[in-house]
Structure 1
Amino acid sequence: MMVPAVLLLLGALTAILAPRLLGRAQWTEREPVVALWAWQCVVGSVLLCFALSMLLSAAGAWDAVRGRLFAAAPHRVVDAYALGASGGAWATATTLVLAGGGLWTGAMLVREILRARSRRRAQDAELLLRAPLLPGEEATGARLVVLEGQRPDSWWLPGPTPQLVVTTAALDRLKGSQLDAVLAHEESHAAARHDWLLHCSRALAGGFPQVPVFAAFETEMHRLVELAADDVASRRYGRLTIALALVGLNEDRGVFGQYTDPEAHVPQRVRRLLAAAPRLTAGRRMRLTALATLAPAVPLLVAFGPGLSALAQIT
């Protein structure tokens, strides 16, 4: 029964240490797409640790589960895990706790999806109220919707047909290619399905607010998806264009004042765009991506290691 305990310890250490390591990394702002992948791999590694520990603990607690889990495995492989070497009470308790956590995670994700659908229906209803269809006109699902408004504003409506909504005041404020840059920014959100990343991170943080990795995951997802979308728009229209568009849309909100919230993302995004820090080399991006991909491989190696070792001895 050592393997389930090692997996639990590995998952706990990853949940505590990974946010600190990624939080101190200096490259995340320069390569937000790689950082998004790294965070997903870390969170996936934590969840995989707990899921594998639950399965092996259940195999140690109940013979029926063990028989199904190791149905095609030689006896030597089963013996390598020593699933019956310790009392079943610990294995049973671990399985029930982790299974409860898994069910709670699923419930939080379903709740977040239902809330997102409810928000989208409310936004669609508001959009139809502010921009009603003319007699005989059919809804076309246009990617750009213009609303009458005195305040410069724009927002993205995710869903099967993502839409960018802008006000007439925003059209007056945005000059040249700035509107195209804003549209490219929002289209990159839709293409990368950033809404699903936000849903998952919000569900995990809401379900387990005391777990550091999940709280940091939600915070970083909101920040990194915006940086990644800024980069897509800046490659097409230039950093200055998207920076000026951000200023134009947000300067009336007080986000650039002396007493601005230090956690506000818009001023940081503008400063980052104007600083124009060079990207990492392709080789370093590949190394960071490969290193992040190894995170979920570690719990798999821990879980399957004893079985593979036993099979090697047999052959």
Structure 2
Amino acid sequence: MVVPATLLLLGALTAIVAPRLLARADWPDREPVVALWVWQCVVAAVLLCCALSMTLSAAAAWQAVRGHVFASAPRAVVEAYALGVGAPWAATTAVALALGGVWTAAMLVREVTRARARRRLRRMEVLVRAPRLPGEGAGLGQLHILEGERPDAWWLPGTPPRLVVTTAALRQLGGRRLDAVVAHEQGHARARHDWLLHCSSALAGGFPQVPVFAAFRDEVHRLVELAADDTASRRFGRLTTALALVELNEGRGVFGPCPGGHGQVPQRVDRLLTAPARLTAARRLGLTAAAALVPVIPVLVAFGPGLRALG
């Protein structure tokens, strides 16, 4: 039971240390796409630690599971894991982790089901208010224009995705600023940010007592907006994108002393206007590679005894 316990300890250590290191780093706002990748690798490592620990604990507790896990392994490999040591706790650990896995899957299914229901209702509402005309819509998705007094634009994920723009946005923005808003929403659609949001919300909702999942959800919601802002600014400029953000949100009270539900907008505008320098390509590559190694560590810990026995 040494390896399963080590994996649980490694998962807990990753869940505690990684978010703190990322919170102290100064580069995530400069490279939101890389930061999203790092967060995904951290969460994947935590989940992988739990999954591998569950598998080895179940192998220690039940001979039938051990026979499947180590079906073709030499006897020396099985003995290297010392599965009989601490076996009384193995069944409890395996069952607890298995229940956690089932709960995670259930939360993800619930989140996706609710999101699809909300999306279906919004798509029906859009089609009722702005029915598609013959020959309308091309490219990445279909465009729908709704009558509305508040400037707004959003993508409805699906097949195909639909871009919805209000008439107030067309009147108030126009030109390159409207193009920047469309490019922002296209960035969300192309990167499939909706799936990241679903996964992070499912983990945070299913395990509210686990801080790493809450931090993952909050950072994903923030970083996907920064990444989409960068997509728009690369095509139409930072100033144009910042002005579009201001004009879309100035009537929502987000720039006052008590910002409303879009409280991140002022920070996004400041970021676009101050134009923080990007990391060098070498450093971006280094961070990406280092993050990819994080989920590899639990695999090495799990297979380490067996590889040493074979060696």
TM-score category, normalised to shorter length: over 0.9
User: 1:34 offset after TM fit, Å?
Assistant: 0.4
- Aligned pairs for 1:134-173 (under 5 A) are 143-173=142-172
1:12: how far off? Answer: 1.1
CA gap of 1:150–1:198, structure 2 versus 1, over 3 A, is: same
> Is 1:246 aligned to 2:220, yes or no?
no
1:92 aligns with 91
Q: SS of the residue aligned with 2:150?
A: coil
Secondary structure of the equivalent of 2:189? helix
CA distance in 2, matches of 1:47, 1:208: 12
Counterpart for residue 79 of structure 1: 79
Total equivalences in the alignment:
309
Cα deviation for residue 262 of structure 1 reads: 10
2:43 aligned residue: 43
> Which residue pairs with 1:183 in the alignment?
182
Aligned to 2:15: 15
**SS of aligned partner of 2:256:** coil
TM-superposed deviation, 1:211:
0.4
| Stretch moving more, 225-234 or 141-150 | 141-150
Q: Give the drift of 1:307.
A: 0.6
The one-character-per-residue Cα deviations of 1:244-273 (angstroms, maximum 9, x if unpaired) are 110010000010112226982111110000
| Alignment partners' CA distance in 1, 2:265 and 2:20 | 23
Shift of residue 14, structure 1, vs aligned partner: 1.2
1:223 aligned residue: 222
Superposed CA RMSD in Å reads 1.6
Q: For 2:285 and 2:302, how far apart are their aligned partners in 1?
A: 27
Which SS does the other structure have where 1:96 is aligned? Answer: helix
Residue 305 of structure 1 aligns with which residue?
304
Cα distance change of structure 1 residues 166 and 140 upon mapping to structure 2, 3 Å threshold: closer
Structure 1 moving runs of 4+ over 2 Å:
137-143, 258-263
Give me the TM-score of the superposition, normalised by structure 2: 0.96
3-state DSSP of counterpart to 2:144: strand
What is the CA distance between 1:163 and its match in structure 2? 1.5
Q: Whole-Å Cα distance in 1 between the matches of residues 259 and 112 of structure 2?
A: 32
Residue aligning to 2:62: 62
Any idea what SS the aligned residue of 1:166 has?
A: strand
What is residue 199 of structure 1 aligned with on the other side?
Answer: 198
The separation in 2 between residues aligned to 1:18 and 1:221, in whole angstroms, is 15
Work out the CA distance in 2 between the residues paired with 1:300 and 1:275.
42
- The unaligned stretches of length 5 or more in structure 2 are none
User: What is the percentage of aligned positions where both structures have the same residue?
Assistant: 69
Pairwise CA distance, 1:129: 2.3
**Equivalents in 1 of 2:228, 2:148: separation in Å?**
25
Shift of 1:162: 1.2
Change (3 A) 1:138 1:116: farther
Partners of 2:95 and 2:251 in 1: CA distance:
52
Q: How far apart in 1 are the matches of 2:147 and 2:82?
A: 69
Equivalent residue of 1:146, what SS? strand
Q: Contact 2:204–2:214 at 8 Å: present in 1 too? A: yes
Question: CA shift at 1:89, angstroms?
Answer: 2.4
Task: Verify the 8 A CA contact 2:41 2:295 in the aligned structure 1.
Answer: yes
Q: Distance in 1 between matches of 2:15 and 2:132?
A: 50
**Which residue identity lines up with residue 170 of structure 1 in the other structure?**
A
Task: Please give the alpha-carbon distance, in whole angstroms, between the structure 1 residues aligned to 2:195 and 2:300.
Answer: 28
**Paired amino acid for 2:258:** Y
Aligned to 2:207: 208
* SS of equivalent to 2:278: coil
Displacement, 1:180? Answer: 1.2
Gaps of 5+ in 1: none
Match of 2:109 in 1: 110
TM-fit CA distance, 1:280: 0.3
CA distance in 2, matches of 1:261, 1:42: 31
Instruction: Give the partner amino acid of 1:266.
Output: V
Aligned to 2:270: 271
CA distance in 2, matches of 1:156, 1:256: 24
Give the aligned partner of residue 289 of structure 1. 288
